[in-house]
Amino acid sequence: MATCKHDNTVEIVQVECKPPPMPTCSNNLKPVRVLDPDGCCWHWECDCYCTGWGDPHYTTFDGLYYSYQGNCTYVLVEEVNPTVDNFGVYIDNYHCDVNDRVSCPRTLIVRHETQEVLLKTVQMMPLTVQVRVNKQAVALPYKKYGLQVYESGFKYVVDIPELGALISYDGLSFSIRLPYRLFGNNTKGQCGTCTNTTSDDCVLPSGEIISNCEVAADQWVVNDPSKPHCPHSSFTTQRPAITTAGASGTTLRKGCASPLCELIQDSLFAECHALLPPQHYYDACVFDSCLVPDSGLECISLQTYAALCAREGVCIDWRSHTHGACSVTCPSHREYRACGPAEEPTCESSSSQQNSTSLEGCFCPEGTVNYAPGFDVCVEFCGCVGPDNVPRKFGEHFEFDCKDCVCLEGGRGIICQPKTCRQKPLSQCEEDGTYLVTEVDPADTCCHVTSCKCNASLCKENPPTCSLGFELKSEMVAGRCCPSYSCGKWGPGARGRGGPRAGAGRVLSEAGYELVEAPGECCMKCEQTHCIINRHNIQYILKPGEIKQDPTNNCTFLSCVKINNHLISSLSDITCPDFDPSIPRNETRAHCSTIPITKRISHSGCTKLVTMNYCSGSCGTFAMYSAEAQALDHRCSCCKEERTSQRKVMLDCAHGSSLNYTYTHIESCRCQDTTCELLPTENSASRRHRRSTPRALGP
C-alpha cells in the first residue's frame, strides 16, 4: 500500500492480509476465496447453488429442500434488480407418471442477452438431449457472444464466463451455480434469494416471504403458449397443505422405500457425509420410490448426491452397488467410469488445461484419447479425422466422398481433390434396339459408366410375312437385343422336319389349299390352288380357268383366273338392254360403261373380296354401204378403260395378320376406235357367241 508523506515523499507499506475465518455456508458447500476490490486480500463467499432432480425435488441457493409437482414452465432464477441484460433460467416440467401425481423436468431454458438456450430431453432411454439456440439446433461445443455450451460427462453445461455462471442439465436433474459477488441478495424465483440463509427463500413474485416454498413455487409460473392451462393469474396445481419450510405435505406409507435409498446413508458414502449431509437426498429417494415405485427415479437421487460429492472431491463408484438397477450403457467405442475427468483430454488440449474435478460419464478407453472437442472419436494417435469419423495418420492417403484425400500435419489437416475417372463415354450405340445410358459404375461408385442398354421396343427390324399355313415365331438370342424371327408350320399337322408329307397334308389342309412341293425345302408347303367363292351360304371351289354358272341365276357366272401366279375370282352379271330398231347394232347389249363386280383377290396366302369395275357394252361396230365412197364403210370401236387409278386393299391372312396389296381400278370406260379386222372365222364367231350368251358350265 502506498502512502503520500510530506515533501512529495511516498511510503510503500506491504498490506498484511489476515486470513478471515471460514464461514459455514447454509447450502453445505465449501466457501470460495474471492479477491477484495483492491486486489490485495481476499475473503470467503458462499456461492449460490440450486439443484433440482427427480419428480422434482429442489434445494434452493441457500440449501432449503422442498418438493414440487407443478407441470408448467417456471422461473428458477432472475435478478431482482437487473444488472445483466436479459438473464434468467427457467424450467419446463411435465407430469411423468400415469396418475399425473408427479412431475419431471423436460426442458431447461437459459437466457443471456440476445441468446436463448434450450436443453430439451427428447428421449429418455437412451437419454437424448437436444440443444437449441434461438430456436435453431446447434452442434457442440457451441461458443458465441460470451456464452458456451458443451458436454461434461453425462451433463450438458451452459457456461457464461463473464458472469461466472454454470448451468448444467442431464435430462432428469439440473444445477445452477452463480457467484455470490454478482448475484448475492439479488435473485428471485423457485431457487430462492441467495442470502446464505434459508429464512427468506420462500418468496413470492411480490416480494412477500411465506413459510411454504411449495406455495411460493406455484406463483413463479411463466406464460407459455404451448401450455394454455397455465395462466399467470391462477394456480397450476392444487395448493398443498401449509407446512413449515423444508417439510413435505405428502404422507407416505411405511415400508415402501426402495433398498437403494439406504445406499445414500450407508457407509458407501461415509466419506461424503461430513462434507454434504445426505438427509435431503435420502428423503427425495424415499419419496420417489414410494410415490412412483419401479420407475427408477430413486437412481436420480443417488446420482445427484454422488455428483455433489464428486464436486467436493469425493468420487464414489456407487452404480456397481445397485445390482444393475441403476446401470448405464455407453456407446461401443467408450467405457463407463465413475470418476472420469470433468474435461476429457483431447489431441488439442495440454496437460496444463486439465481440470482436477472428477465426475461420472462415458470416456475413451485407456490407451486412446478423444480426437477433439465436437468429435466423438477415440484415437490411438493424433492425426486427422474427417467427416467419416475415421482416424487417419499424417501422410495417409485415402478416398472419401468420391475425392482423393491426404492427411497432412498443420493447416486444415485433410486436403482433397476430385477423383479422376478413366473411362471415356460412348457417343452412340450401333446395334439395333440399343440406347445410351449413363449409370454408376458398380466397380467404382464414384465414377459413371456409359453403356448401351437393350430396349426391344426400339427395334426397327420388321418381322417377315409368313405364307399361309406357317406362323411367325420369335426367339431371343443371347448377345442380341432384338428378337430373331422365323416362319414355322402352324396347326396340328405341324411336326417339324420329320412331319407328314403330302398324304396327311391333304387331309389337314383347308378347301382350296393343297400341299405342294417346295423346291429346295425338305417339307412340302401349303398353298392355295383353287379360287374360293362364297355366295348365298354356298362355297364354290373353282380351278384356274374354270367358269361356273350360278345355279340360282342363269345370268350370273363365276370364274377363276390365275394371273402372275395370283388367283383372281370374279362374279359376272349379264344384263339385256331394251331394243331400239332405229339404231343399227351388231348385238343386243348395253352401251359401253363400267360394271361393278365383286372379285376375290389372293396373294401370298392372303385373300379379300373386293368390289371393282370392268368395261362392257356395245360400241356400234358395223359395216354399211357408202354411196359417196361406192364401197362398204367399216366402223369398229371397242369398249375400253378410259381412266384408271391405283388402289390399296388390306388382304386378310392366317392367324389374324394382314397384308397391303395394290391393284388397278377402272374409274370410267368409253368406246375407242380400233382397226376393223376381217370377219371372224366360224370358230371365232362360235367363241364370240358363247361369250355373249349365258351358258351353264359344268363344275
What's the CATH number where 668 sits? Answer: 2.10.90.10
Q: In whole angstroms, give the CA distance from residue 665 to residue 219.
A: 108
Percent of the chain past pLDDT 70, that is, above it, reads 82
- The pLDDT of residue 501 is 38
Q: Which of 573, 571, 615 is nearest to 592 (CA)?
A: 615
Domain membership of residue 382 (yes or no) is: yes
Which stretch, 378-382, 582-586, 685-689, has highest mean pLDDT? 378-382
**What would you measure as the largest C-alpha separation in the chain, in angstroms?**
184
Q: Calculate mean pLDDT across residues 79-102.
A: 86
Angstrom distance (rounded) from CA 204 to CA 198: 14
Q: Residue 378 pairs with which residues in a beta bridge?
A: 370
Report the C-alpha gap between 666 and 158 in whole angstroms: 104
Query: 562 and 672 in one domain?
Result: yes
547 with 630, same domain? yes
**pLDDT at residue 682 in the model:** 43
Of the pLDDT bands very low, low, confident and very high (cuts 50, 70, 90), residue 692 is very low
- Rounded mean pLDDT of 78-94? 93
Q: How does pLDDT run across 1-32, given as a tens digit for each residue?
A: 667 777 777 777 777 888 889 999 999 888 99
DSSP 591: B
> Do 369 and 222 lie in a common domain?
no
φ and ψ at 428, to 5 degrees?
Answer: -160, 165
In a domain, 433, yes or no: no
On the question of pLDDT at 604 being above 80, the answer is no
> At which of 289, 305, 329 does a domain end?
329
Phi, psi (rounded to 5 degrees) for 442: -65, -25
Judgement on whether residues 523 and 534 belong to the same structural domain of the protein: no
383 and 288 both lie in a single domain: no
Are residues 165 and 189 both part of a single domain? yes
Q: How confident is the model at residue 624 (pLDDT cuts 50, 70, 90)?
A: low
Whether 53 and 202 map to the same domain: the answer is yes
Please tell me whether residues 549 and 663 are part of one structural domain.
Answer: yes
In this prediction, residue 691 carries a pLDDT of 39
CB neighbours (10 Å) of residue 149? 23
Higher pLDDT, 440 or 150: 150
Q: How far apart are CA 103 and CA 94, in angstroms?
A: 5
Residues 6+ apart with CB under 8 A from 197: 26, 62
What does the pLDDT read at residue 697? 33
Domain boundary among 485, 505, 527: 527
Phi, then psi, of 265 in degrees rounded to 5: -95, 0
pLDDT at 576: 66
Q: How many Å apart are CA 509 and CA 529, to the nearest integer?
A: 11
- Highest-pLDDT range among 113-127, 153-167, 216-230, 285-299: 153-167
Terminus-to-terminus CA distance in the chain, angstroms?
A: 153
> Residue 399 domain-assigned?
yes
Q: Quick one: pLDDT at residue 115? A: 96
Name the one residue in this structure whose C-alpha cell is 434452493. Answer: 60
Q: Is residue 437 part of a domain?
A: no
Contacts of 155 (CB under 8 A, 6+ apart): 168, 169, 170, 359
- Asked whether residue 459 is assigned to any structural domain, the reply reads no
Mean pLDDT of the chain: 81
- Mean pLDDT for the stretch of residues 596-624: 81
Give the predicted TM-score (pTM) of the model: 0.58
Residue by residue, DSSP assigns 244-288 as -TT--S----TT-S-GGGHHHHSGGGHHHHTTS--HHHHHHHHHH
Which of 62-71, 305-314, 499-508 comes out lowest in average pLDDT?
499-508
Q: Binning pLDDT at 50, 70 and 90, where does residue 634 land?
A: low
Percent of the chain with pLDDT over 90: 34
Per-residue pLDDT averaged across 234-257, rounded? 48
Strand partners, 558: 548, 571
Asked if the structure places residue 502 within a domain, the reply is yes
3-state DSSP: the chain helix, strand, coil percent, rounded to 5? 10, 40, 50
The pLDDT of residue 156 is above 90: yes
Question: Is there a single domain that holds both residue 539 and residue 672?
Answer: yes
Domain that holds residue 82: 47-250
Same domain, 544 and 523: no
Cell numbers for 472: 411367325
- Residue 632 sits in the same domain as residue 618: yes
Q: Residue range 470-483: average pLDDT?
A: 82
Reading the block at residue 622, the C-alpha cell is 358395223
pLDDT confidence tier of residue 162, bands split at 50, 70 and 90: very high
Residue 630 has pLDDT above 70, yes or no: no
Q: Is residue 424 part of a domain?
A: no
> What pLDDT, in 10s, does the model give residues 378-432?
999 889 988 888 889 999 999 888 889 999 988 778 999 988 887 777 778 888 8
> In sequence order, which residues have a C-beta less than 8 Å from that of residue 503 and are 6 or more positions away?
none
Which residue's entry shows cell 370364274?
A: 559
Counted residue by residue, the chain has a size of 699
In a domain, 172, yes or no: yes
- Lowest-confidence pick of 91-105, 153-167, 495-509, 654-668: 495-509
d(CA 118, CA 134): 8
Question: Are residues 520 and 535 both part of a single domain?
Answer: no
pLDDT of 679 higher than 90: no
Q: Which residue has the higher pLDDT, 15 or 360?
A: 360
Domain boundary among 301, 329, 357: 329
Q: Is the pLDDT of residue 235 over 70?
A: no
Distances 349 to 144, 344, 373, 389 between C-alpha atoms, Å: 20, 9, 9, 19
- Cα–Cα nearest to 468, from 603, 608, 605: 605
pLDDT at 134 > cutoff 90:
yes
Count the domains in the chain: 5
Output the CA angle 679-685-688, nearest 5 degrees: 120
Q: What is the mean pLDDT of residues 437-456?
A: 86
